[in-house]
Structure 1
Amino acid sequence: MPDTIPETRNFISPLIRLNPADNVAVAREAIDPKTLAEVDGLRPLARIPRGHKMALRAIPRGAAVTKYGQTIGFATADIAPGDHVHVQNLGVGEFTRDYAMCVDAAEPEMLPESQQARFMGYLRPDGRIGTRNYIAVISSVNCSATVSKAVAQHFAAPAVMARFPGVDGVIALTHGGGCAFNTRAEGYAYLARTIAGYAAHPNVGGVLMIGLGCETNQIPALLEREGLAESDRLRSMTIQAVGGTRRTIEAGIRAVEEMMPLVGAARRTSQPASGLCLALECGGSDG
């Protein structure tokens, strides 16, 4: 069987060979020998369900079955080309594996500091380096999302931000949870960790957290859990304590304005490019 399966306008092979070294291919659709006499030069000997394996060549009993270029098991009976390879003729067995990793890796040669790339960034107190200088308005619960967005929207006008040089903008970070869930459950841990991660992000110079007041995700408990504390750069309020939506929006705007001079005092300085963190835990392999 060729390393690549031919595809034409009129025919797309029902088999996928995942690696040139494989002795099986995967059926992208069910293969029935009664209706398909030949597949890529092979005669199917049995019905191959969609997603199952078909032998590409003879595999003697005890020989390795390879898929993705890796041993996935051993033939428990002689397998002929075109056979359905599944639990009836495939089993596990002991074999020597090469677990050596990075044996050919070499220590990279570092450039002298004078030749290393640098950029103008914000050095934060924890040693991390930011590329922006935002104030984040974070909702602790979905119920305060609208208020959080309204506070941030006030500062979207260029004429307003022109009064606060040194601050790149005010952003609202909202979500659809925060209430009616178990604070000992995994979902709460993820939410708390995510909110704390944004609050401590090197691109964020100041934070205003806004809650409703009666939600499960109470701001004081969240801060304590994540090792954060209120300060002149991290403030909080709840809609119920302030006295309603309109008053909280007004109070939120005042709180952000009070934070502006402190956050805007940060200055970009020359920082090593090694301080940049890009695409960490992007989730590209989750699909």
Structure 2
Amino acid sequence: MQMYQSQTTNPQTNYFIIDSSSSPNHNDVDFKYYSYQNQTNKQLHTGDLIIYRRSGSASEWGNEFYLYGAAQLGDVVQVDPTTGNSLLEVKNPYLFSHRLMKQNLRTFDWKFRKFKGKWSNFFNMNGITQITKEDFLGLLDRQSNLSPEFDGLSSAEESLAVKCYQAQRHELYTIEDTAKGVPTRRAADKYFSDQVKFNYHYKSALTGTSDEDKLVATRIIPWKDNKTTRLDYRNGICLTKILKKAFTQGYFTLSDQGHIILSNLNSNDPELNKTLNKYKNRKIHMNREYSPNKNYLQYHREHIFKR
């Protein structure tokens, strides 16, 4: 990857997968600070490259770990002499365009350790696992290949994607069209697309398909209509591409309970009409934590839906 070229060509660089925690006892802030026990863990050094892992115990997805970003370790900014914890600055953050779940890693050719089919004890229990340069670069390639539409973002856009991730964790969903002269749409979509797909376990909320080539994150309130909902994952539904087309064009909408409501108007696309009739009165998958905001659904019914 271009942004880590100088580090990956440096023979002194080491590579790690680290577990990051939102626990106040660790002081971790994703893509900003990393806290670790400096008395027992001596292998981390300024300039090393890391890949973030959310462990199963901290995961939002059925106790399953996932990998979600990369960064470079910076300087120690704080040392707690009582606990022996060091707080490291994190530099050059990079948000994965697709989280790497177990299903995405089954065929990955690990170099640092032989994978024998079971993940238990594969990563070190202390939350710091040293890997090889080949592992690091291979994982970056794997996530990029799963979402190639986000290749080619500028360094400024990549930085914005990380800021979008951080903003939503503080329930800040507003983003302007530009930030310091940089268009925000692609960066915001990079974060938003994977967050929505992740929430729906990389399956269509309606059809249940897990064919990722057919899946797309769909905004309920369009980007251009409201800047305060652009980053809100509850303004998103994971649909197949053909159903996204029908939804964004207003040929179907959803009730507050998630039931499909078809328009009385047919599109000029026979395949689209056939697909919609197949799912008439069906209900999308709903979850209390990430299901569509009912106010957003009401907006869609009133302003997008064709009557």
More helix by share: 2
Pick the TM interval, shorter chain: under 0.3
Larger RCO (CA within 8 A; separation ≥ 6): 1
Question: TM-score with structure 2 length normalisation?
Answer: 0.21
Question: TM-score with structure 1 length normalisation?
Answer: 0.22
Structure (1 or 2) with the larger CA radius of gyration: 1
